Amino acid sequence: MANDLIHSAAAHAIEETAKATAKGIDAVTQGGQYVGSVLGDLPHDLVGFVGDWVKHKRIRRWAGLQAETDKILQARGIGNREEVSPSVAIPLIEAAINEDREVLKQLWAKLLANALDPSRTHFVRVSLIELLKQFDPLDALVLRELTDPKFNNFIPAGGDLAEALAKHLQVDRDDAHLSLERLFELRCLGAAPNDTPRPPVTSKGRALIRAVSD
C-alpha cells in the first residue's frame, strides 16, 4: 500500500511539473531515463517507511528543481537549450535532488540552468559538481563573498577576515572561520586562514562561482 501511494504521488508530481514547465528540461534527461535510476535506487539498508520517505522527498525535489531551472532560463530568454552529456547530467541531477538546504538548492538549480544554457554550458564541469557536493551552505556563502569585489569594503585594513564575514553574514565567527578552513581544504583558497589575513580565492573557487552565477 505504501509503495502504491508513493508511485501515485510520483506520477502526479511529474505530471504536474511537466504541465507547469516549458519543454527543454526533459531533453537533458532523455525523457526521464536518467532521473528514473536516481529517484528509485536506495541503499539496501533503507527499507520500508524510511526508503519511501527518501524516495518521495527526491521526487518532490526533482519537481521543484525543474520549475526553478525553467524559471531561470525563461528569465534569460533561453529558448534553444543545450543537450547535456550524461556524464554531466546524471551526477548533477543526483546531487541536486538529494539536497534540501535552501542556499544549496538555489545553487544546484543555477548549475543545471547553466548546463542547459548554450552560452554557459562550458562553465559546468563534472569536477565542479563533485566540489559543490562537499559544501555546506555557509561555505557557499563565504566563497561568494570572497569573490565579490564589494565585500572588500566590509573588511578594515588589517582586520579579522572571519570576524568581518561573521558580521556581514550574521553568523558566529567560529562558523565563518570553519568555512574558511574548509574552503582551503577543498582548494578553493590558496592559503589557510591562519597563515594570511586575506587568503586568495583560487581558479577552482572562481570557476565554481562562475558555474553557479545568475
Beta bridge partners of 189: 201
Output the pTM of the full model: 0.78
Helices then strands (H, E): number in the chain? 11, 0
Q: Is residue 43 pLDDT above 60, yes or no?
A: no
pLDDT tens, residue by residue, 68-101:
999 999 999 998 888 888 899 889 988 999 999 9
For helices 102-116 and 48-76, give the axis angle rounded to 10 degrees.
50
Taking CA atoms, 7 is separated from 2, 20, 125, 145, 188, in Å, by: 9, 20, 33, 42, 41
Q: Is 51 in contact with 95 (CB distance < 8 Å)?
A: no
Residues 6+ apart with CB under 8 A from 103: 137, 140, 141
pLDDT at 39: 52
* CB neighbours of residue 94 within 10 Å: 18
pLDDT tens, residue by residue, 157-212:
667 899 999 999 999 999 999 999 999 999 999 999 988 888 999 999 999 999 99
CB-facing half-sphere around the CA of 199: CA atoms within 13 A:
27
* Backbone conformation region of residue 49, classed left if phi is above 0, alpha if psi is from -120 to 50, else beta: alpha
pLDDT at 18: 39
Please give the residue that has the higher pLDDT: either 47 or 148. 148
> What H or E segment, with its residue span, contains residue 37?
helix 33-40
Looking at residue 203, its amino acid is: S
pLDDT tens, residue by residue, 103-161:
999 999 999 999 999 999 999 999 999 999 999 999 999 999 999 988 877 676 667 89
H helices of 117-160, in order, are 126-133, 137-146
Please give the residue that has the higher pLDDT: either 7 or 168. 168
Q: Is residue 31 pLDDT above 70, yes or no?
A: no
Looking at residue 207, its amino acid is: A
Mean pLDDT across 47-72: 78
